[in-house]
Amino acid sequence: MILRSALALLLAPAAAGAFELEFPLDCTLGDTCYIQQYVDHDPGPAARDFTCGSLSYEAHEGTDFALPSLAAMAAGVEVRASAAGRVRGIRDGMPDIAANDSAAPALEGRDCGNGVAITHEGGWETQYCHMKQGSLLVRPGQDVAAGTPLGQVGLSGRTEFPHLHVTLRQGKTVVDPFAPGSTDSCGPATEGLWQVALPYQPGGIISLGFASEVPGFAAVRAGTVAPPTGPDAPALVLWAYLFGGRAGDVLRVEITGPEGKVIAQDMRLEKTQAQLFRALGKRLRAATWPQGSYDGQATLLRNGATVDSAAVRLDL
């Protein structure tokens, strides 16, 4: 079980009478899903999110609600309509495979992958992308209520991690539901369009766990890293999977056991990355590890302040 604590910016919900959106996934934000990227608010070749932070990329036109692993995607996470409307169109049949995989098919303009587009009153439209192949539950022309299941989160189209990309438009203009004013500027947030305000998390720990060796990044992203199963494990390794890391951030990692501190280190991040992982461990120097509970703690620090922290326990 992972315990976590995060510093998040609390935003205001939609104003009374405004067009508003419900949360589009059956997951718990900050626990079983997180927001990886926001609409780009930089009018030039750089990128910045609505707070002037780094959680966006050049010309990104939506919000990316990400899952912690491919295993979570395989288990199935429901996508839901954010507002009542009518299904304008759908696409299904594209495989769930990372776009940078050598076996991925040519996209040929189908960057959204499997998806759904819904029109709403007032000229609004929501578009849901990267859904799981074969999971779509609606058809063109169908009327849907807010919360209607549309399908599941997938890995189709131009993506490298399982997530739901949601684009909001009024007419042909992209609107950021977190800051519905101009997307050419950024700054302190005011009122968004979410029925229940969603917190802004400027980076954090996606998952944390123990292993008996330094795992590969592919296994971390897949959610398949196995913890040590006995006191004769060749090593105790604590790994942390992060999003939104910035150059200069510090990841503080520590393992404590029945006899006290096992190992600890502050790791300085050298560059800004959308996703990354780090690991710290110690080799077995005796016949077995002392039996009992081992606690792993990871804290992401930015300018000395805690951005996020998580803890996990292993019993040997």
* Distance of alpha carbon 171 from alpha carbon 164, whole angstroms: 22
Check residue 187 and give its pLDDT. 85
Residues in a beta bridge with 309: 5, 299
The stretches of 151-252 forming alpha helices (DSSP H) are 217-222
Q: In this structure, what token pair is assigned to residue 261?
A: 């501190």
Check residue 1 and give its pLDDT. 44
Is-contact 201 34, C-beta < 8 A? yes
**Cα 75 → chain centroid:** 16
Q: Which domains does the chain have, with CATH numbers?
A: 11-175 (2.70.70.10), 204-315 (2.60.40.10)
Three-class DSSP category at 222:
helix
SS3 string, the chain, reads: CEEEEECCECCECCCCCCCCECCCECCCECCCEEEEECCCCCCCCCCCCCCCCCCCCCCCCCEEEECCCHHHHHHCCEEECCCCEEEEEEECCCCCCCCCCCCCCCCCCCCCCEEEEEEEHHHEEEEEEEECCCCCCCCCCCEECCCCEEEEEECCCCCCCCEEEEEEEECCEEECCCCCCCCCCCCCCCECCECCCCCECCCEEEEEEEECCCCCHHHHHHCCCCCCCCCCCCEEEEEEEEEEECCCCEEEEEEEECCEEEEEEEEECCCCEEEEEEEEEEECCCCCCCCCEEEEEEEEEECCEEEEEEEEEEEC
Map tokens 């626990």 to a residue: 31
pTM of structure? 0.93
124: nearest Cα among 38, 196, 41, 20 = 20
Check residue 8 and give its pLDDT. 58
Check residue 182 and give its pLDDT. 82
Give pLDDT tens digits along the chain (316 positions).
Answer: 465 555 555 555 555 457 999 999 999 999 999 999 999 999 999 999 999 999 999 999 999 999 999 999 999 999 999 999 999 999 999 999 999 999 999 999 999 999 999 999 999 999 999 999 999 999 999 999 999 999 999 999 999 999 999 999 999 999 999 999 888 888 876 689 999 999 999 999 999 999 999 999 999 999 999 999 999 999 999 999 999 999 999 999 999 999 999 999 999 999 999 999 999 999 999 999 999 999 999 999 999 999 999 999 999 9
Check residue 184 and give its pLDDT. 87
**Cα 85 → chain centroid:** 27
* Distance of alpha carbon 312 from alpha carbon 298, whole angstroms: 9
